[in-house]
Amino acid sequence: MQRNGGTIPAITGDIDHKNAIHIFPKDLLYLRSSIIAYGSSLVSTFVGFPLDTIKVRMQTHKEFTSYYDCIKKTFAKEGIKGFFRGVWAPLISTSFSKSLSVSIYSYTKPYIYNGLFNNSFYRDIKEDHPFIRNLPVCFLSGLIAGGCVSIFACPFEFIKVYAQLEKLVGNKVGAKLNNTSTIQIMRNIIKYKGLLGLYSGFKLHLLRDSVSTGIYYSFYESVKLLLSGTQSSPFAILIAGGLSGVLSWIIIFPVDTAKSLIQNEVVKSILSKQHGISMGEIIEDKKKEPMKISYRGLGISVTRSFITSMVFFGTFELGMKYLA
């Protein structure tokens, strides 16, 4: 990608025209990267969803003593389906969000680059320092992409969290629940909390997605660049993808926990109203081990993020290289 006489690495390498498989009609070529990103996200989201369910339950319910305890009890009470409860909303929304994120990021990056390097400080950075030149551009572009996507993604994520917590919360408030579809969950939220109820925890969602996406893309491109230079190797792509997911989650995880706790209380409120049950006073010992509580479920999140990010970037870059 050439900008102002300098070179800045693109999110993916060049297509291999000799070995590429031509599957896109000419009318859809302009959507090629978005379609490949959507397909890659479908795969990575499905692979990581069971771990996401465990993460959300560990964040919001302290009765689980360990990850193994959470997995064992979830399987005993709900079977395999319990780990995939609410999977359809994120399969559709997360995949679209990821595709939209890649599109906004790729579109924004040249403008951020030109804006920064018209500044005298960045203009003086030598051309042989692509790492230093690329890092702030990637972070700011990712920040914008994450913030824009969160507006679309928040309702779908809350529906996902609702589905993941419904059985647990229902047991606590004494509600007997049958299997609830994604559409029914959305209707319940709107009925008892209005349309804005779909945006429960939005401020924290916005903060989480904007900052984490900035870290995600900037760290991915930087590590990939350091490991293999401008010619990306499969090893560099996988390691950079996995590590970018891990770092972004470690930094932003307390915000995600706070968001999940807010949404957990909304789920309790809705189920209590729906079944005519008094919630009573919910006593939370907020002073006890605040850092430990904030990072409860971090281990499973880091594992999930490493796997899903590695799968996403590996699949995405493979598609961008060989699908035309």
- Domain spans of the chain? 21-278+286-322
Beta carbons of 37 and 98 less than 8 angstroms apart: yes
* Predicted pLDDT of residue 275: 77
Angle at 213 between CA 260 and CA 41, to 5 degrees: 85
Q: How many CB atoms lie within 10 A of CB 138?
A: 26
Give me the tens of pLDDT residue by residue for the chain, a chain 324 residues long: 444 434 444 577 778 888 899 999 988 888 899 999 999 999 999 999 999 999 889 888 888 889 999 999 999 988 998 899 888 877 888 889 999 999 999 899 988 888 876 666 555 555 556 667 788 889 999 999 999 999 999 999 999 888 888 877 777 666 666 667 889 999 999 999 999 999 999 999 999 999 999 999 999 988 888 887 666 788 899 999 999 999 999 999 999 999 999 998 998 888 888 877 765 533 344 444 444 557 888 888 899 999 999 999 999 999 999 999
pTM of model > 0.75: yes
Superfamily name and number for 21-278+286-322 = Mitochondrial carrier domain (1.50.40.10)
pLDDT of residue 229: 66
Find the Cα–Cα–Cα–Cα dihedral 46, 50, 56, 57, rounded to 10°: 160
Between the alpha carbon of residue 129 and those of residues 9, 13, 113, 225, 249, the distances in Å are 12, 19, 14, 11, 28
pLDDT for the residue 252: 93
Residue reference for tokens 């397909």: 39
